[in-house]
Structure 1
Amino acid sequence: MRILRGVEIPIAICISYTILSMVNVIIDLLRGRASGSHYNSIAMLLLCTIAVLVLSIHHLFDEWSPVVMIIIQYVIAMGLVLLLVFISSFFTEVSEGGYKDIIISFTVPYMIGAFIYYSSVFRSAKRQDRLIQEINSGREK
């Protein structure tokens, strides 16, 4: 399976952040609201970083089934997100439903991103298996 390495990780973070920022701006425009604060932009960047880093370590869980691996990664990511909100509560006030809101706000884009990421990973693995089979069948002849 393909592993994100080196410069690919910051590129994936930047692409994710840009897409989420644009979706957020469009939703705000459609609702007639002003865009979020700078704190929201920084939080979104940190959340994108957590998601990309957690998804990029999937190779550490290869011995488990894909479903278990995906659940473990989600739990790790959500734990880091909740830790981020807890730490930020020392610097700024977290609204009454803030933890519930962040769980929903993180889970939906994370699941979409994870679906896209794992689809490409599994497609790549199938392609590699097919190439290995072609090489092996060529040796047998």
Structure 2
Amino acid sequence: MMKKINLVEMLVVICVSYTILSLVNAGLALAMGKNTISAMNSFTMVLWTSIGVGILYMHQYFERWSPLVMIIAQYIIAMGLVFGSLLLESQYIELHPMAYRDAFRSFTIPYIIGAAIYYIYIFREAKRQNELLQEIKNKKS
């Protein structure tokens, strides 16, 4: 039986992730002497953060696959959505010639870090639950 996605928890993770990414982005911009943080960048960052967190939270729909295939499939779907958002954005504004390359780099690095943290938590939680089940089985014997 598939567990229900906790939307409130997911929203909290999106907000925390967005805040961390915004602070890191602002710190890097200041360190490099740039002032490039615009409203459009902020909206793009929250959209991409939501895509990344949303895809990770849907891992239960991919559980029948091996963990490596699941992780790769989730990344490909997330990257497709990011590139799709750029394609949509390009219909309204002119994108920088390196927009897709920059988007790949800007999304991939935080996504890998976030996915690593998320999956370490998930796998530890699964291990803990398996240990609890084993304890229960041993007590019944």
Q: Do the two structures share a fold, i.e. TM-score over 0.5?
A: yes
Cα shift at 1:32: 1.2
Cα shift at 1:2: 7.8
Q: TM-score, normalised by structure 1?
A: 0.95
Structure 1 contact 58–69 (Cα < 8 Å) conserved: yes
Could you report, residue by residue, the CA deviation over 1:1-51 in whole angstroms, capped at 9, with x for unpaired residues? 987412111111101100000000110111111141100000000000000
Aligned equivalents of 1:3 and 1:127: distance in 2? 20
Question: Aligned residues: percent identity?
Answer: 46
Give the AA of the match of 1:25. Answer: A
When the two structures are aligned, how many residues end up with a matched partner?
Answer: 140
Give the AA of the match of 2:97. Answer: E
Aligned equivalents of 1:73 and 1:100: distance in 2? 19
Structure with the larger RCO, 1 or 2 (CA within 8 Å, 6+ apart): 1
* Range 25-34 or range 78-87, more displaced: 25-34
1:34 matched to which residue of 2?
35
Give the AA of the match of 2:118. Answer: Y
Map 1:29-108; keep pairs closer than 5 Å.
29-108=30-109
Aligned equivalents of 1:109 and 1:78: distance in 2? 12
Deviating beyond 3 angstroms after TM superposition, the runs of 4 or more aligned structure 1 residues are 1-4
Could you report, residue by residue, the CA deviation over 1:33-76 in whole angstroms, capped at 9, with x for unpaired residues? 11411000000000000001100000001111100000000000
Q: Does 1:115 align with 2:137?
A: no
Give unmatched runs, 5+ long, in structure 1.
none
Cα shift at 1:117: 0.3
Structure 1 pair 64–88 and aligned structure 2 pair: CA distance change class (3 A): same
Structure 1 contact 3–59 (Cα < 8 Å) conserved: no
1:129 matched to which residue of 2?
130
Q: TM-score, normalised by structure 2?
A: 0.95
Aligned equivalents of 1:101 and 1:3: distance in 2? 35
Aligned equivalents of 2:13 and 2:139: distance in 1? 37
